[in-house]
Amino acid sequence: MAKTKIAYFCQSCGFESPKWLGKCPSCQQWNTFVEEILEKPNASVPTWKASPPTSQRANKPVPVSEITFKEEHRLLTPDKEFNRVLGGGIVAGSLVLIGGEPGIGKSTLMLQLALNMPNIKVLYVSGEESDHQIKMRAERLSPQEPPNPLKGQQNQELPLQGAGGAGTCFILCETSTQNIFKQIEELEPDLVVIDSIQTLHSAHIESTTGSVSQVRECTAELLRFAKETSTPVFLIGHITKDGMIAGPKILEHMVDTVLQFEGDRHHVYRILRTIKNRFGSASELGIYEMLGEGLREVSNPSEILLSQRDEPLSGITISATLEGMRPMLIETQALVSASPYGTPQRTATGFDTKRMSMLLAVLEKRCGFRLGAKDVFLNITGGIRVEDPAIDLGLAAAIISSHEDIPIPAKTCFAGEIGLSGEIRAVNRVEQRIAEAQKLGFEQIFISKYNMPSAGKDKTRLDLSRYTIDVKPVGRIEEVFGLLFG
């Protein structure tokens, strides 16, 4: 009789070892190895709808010049923010992983998507909730729908008509991958949603549900299904206390797209951020507003990130940033005060603390402002995190505005990177930043003079004739302070 194969896995990173180890050699974490049974004797591999005979043939190498390429067909959803994050729509046969904190709205987002897909048959597989709980949420997400009570037995797919009435969403409360694939073969859905991947288990693996082996095996089975049938599959994943997606790191490598659903449960705004995308840009984001009837897409995020003030306040500036292909105006705040305890504090929310220290050193060395004995606090409003260096100029202006207690004009915007010698460096796609500031009614914007066309060079780099906003090109940070504070 064949013996049962046993191995030890790190619960933090998924590192496999034939024996127990106290410290993981991969992620350097202690006491994370657990014993798991990899395979039972006489275990059968789950199957689904038979593939065409051509898939059984051996693949042969083909010259790249002979490979025929046709434009990929994407499935567009009614949610424009979701389409933008995915790179233009859902790709056939793609495997998408969505992670986020508990209660952030992952299940709400995917159920809302499943209920509003036009002419699409969607199978929503839930391993965490009952069919009655899902029905209650569906009624809340589409209140205009007439009452349609669920009928059927447990572990059978139950139809829910979407808000549009054209598509149909089927609910399946099941955790066994073998039963799920059996229902998929009978139903033949166009889209599959798994909520969540940590609740599934495969009979091919003996370990417990949610373990490294189970998550990896269930994902591999869904990956093979998605690629062989060209059916897109969405996986909802849990995250750890560190904010990382739970399970082995290989889980993120296996899927085509990784989306992170971020936000504070105590605030109404949510951000869907792209971490990895094989079919589009990996720096896109979508912004939603959590309401009682579900998630509402925010088409103009600049309006919600800018606060309305009745009087000018010091330490507040507006910066033009880019998130993927989308320009946004954000409010940057700074507070500079005397340090009462002798040790200055440096705190930044939504911004890199090391880059803040660099900006403070440049202001002290090149401009003569004494900030070494001051407490400095920076904040990016709206709860978002920005890594675009183009907000350096806006942050520096906010710091000096708070230090001198002089308000900056409310209709002034900034877009420039600060170098170590105090020069204002050019930023990419400055035309979109200027257009966004002009659209929102700003009167002037400070940019780098190196974004401007120079004599003898390409004069088409920036055409200011099509803008009504006053564009002020500057070369050094001293010029900016001279124009702002005199």
Binding residue ranges = 100-107
DSSP-derived letter for residue 2 is P
Task: Give one word for 332, left, alpha or beta, with left for phi > 0 and alpha for psi -120 to 50.
Answer: beta
Under 8 Å CB-to-CB from 341, ≥6 apart: which residues? none
Under 8 Å CB-to-CB from 482, ≥6 apart: which residues? none
Q: How many helices (H) and strands (E) does the chain have?
A: 11, 24
Asked if the peptide bond before residue 196 counts as cis, ω within 30 degrees of 0, the response is yes
Alpha helices in 116-189 (DSSP H): 131-141, 177-187
Rg of the chain over Cα atoms, rounded to whole angstroms, equals 27
The answer to whether the beta carbons of residues 402 and 315 sit under 8 Å apart is yes
The answer to whether the beta carbons of residues 84 and 328 sit under 8 Å apart is no
Report the sign of the C-alpha dihedral through residues 243, 245, 247, 252, in that order.
negative
305 Cα distance to chain centroid: 18
Helix (H) or strand (E) holding 251: helix 250-254
Closest C-alpha among 231, 324, 219 to residue 277? 324
Under 8 Å CB-to-CB from 57, ≥6 apart: which residues? none
The answer to whether the beta carbons of residues 403 and 481 sit under 8 Å apart is no
Q: Which residues are annotated as a binding site for ATP?
A: 100-107
435 CB-contact burial (10 Å; exposed 0-12 / middle 13-18 / buried 19+):
middle
Report how far residue 484's alpha carbon sits from residue 486's, in angstroms, rounded to the nearest whole number: 6
State both tokens at 159. 């139809």
The answer to whether the beta carbons of residues 128 and 174 sit under 8 Å apart is no
Helix (H) or strand (E) holding 90: strand 90-91
State both tokens at 356. 């803040």
Report how far residue 46's alpha carbon sits from residue 171's, in angstroms, rounded to the nearest whole number: 22
- Residue given tokens 């036009």 in the structure block: 118
The answer to whether the beta carbons of residues 209 and 199 sit under 8 Å apart is yes
335 beta partners: 377
